Amino acid sequence: MLESRSVAKATVSLVSLALVEELNHRVVNEYAEAISSLSLAASSTGDPIAKAAIDRAASRLRDHAAAHRTLMPPAVPDDADLGAHVSRICEAFTRATLAQRRVRLVLTTAEVRLPADQCWRIGLILVELIRNAARHGLGGSEGQISVSIEERIGILVCEVRDNGRPSVRTVPGRGQGLIRGLVNELGGRVDWSFTVEGAVATMRIPVEAPTMLGDFSAKWSEVA
């Protein structure tokens, strides 16, 4: 019975990943089609102001497409450097979304090797936490979001902190439900705390003997 459940769970996981791959493929193609349409429109107009505006819109879409690619599931079931993976996500997300809002993103992380599938899910969770911090914690205005990742005796602790105005507890939305669902898949938990200095989301996930590679930190802010 236990073996049957394990096989069923693995099958569901493979089906889910196949569905994610298909959806990602469609999204990337739709980005490409939209960018191509804008490029065609820019080349067809004789108005330099309109052309510049269309070119800027196409550039923004390219940045969003690049950010989306960093969130795609791993191609091979191997170990991956979590710090490097999250760093790529933060850089792309800053360029696509945060820079225009003048939001500074600071990442401090232990460079830990984990299964690629686990790194992928952690990346999905963190980008959703960062998005929530920018939208709700900072209220769409400028500020700073700090992300930290460290390993504490078999527990991976990830924090996303903003320096926005004191938050008021609200009814959990769809984004928070998605975060909790992904964290549950990893056997962990996530908690939110609200202080006069901003909001803090703390995620704790059990990990089995991760490979520690060192420490890494990076900062991103406005980009041209």
Residue pLDDT, tens place only, 132-185: 999 888 887 899 999 999 988 889 999 999 998 755 555 556 778 889 999 999
Listed as ranges, residues in the chain with pLDDT below 50 are 1-15, 222-224
**Residue labelled with tokens 């990346």:** 123
3-state secondary structure of 1: coil
* CA-based radius of gyration for the chain: 19
For position 123, what pLDDT does the model report?
95
Residues 6+ apart with CB under 8 A from 50: none
* Amino acid found at 118: Q
For position 90, what pLDDT does the model report?
95
Report domain extents, the chain.
Answer: 2-69, 79-220
State the architecture of 79-220 in CATH terms: 2-Layer Sandwich (3.30)
For position 156, what pLDDT does the model report?
95
For position 3, what pLDDT does the model report?
43
Q: Is 83 exposed, middle or buried (0-12, 13-18, 19+ CB in 10 A)?
A: buried
Helical H segments across the chain, by residue range: 2-44, 48-69, 82-93, 116-132, 174-185
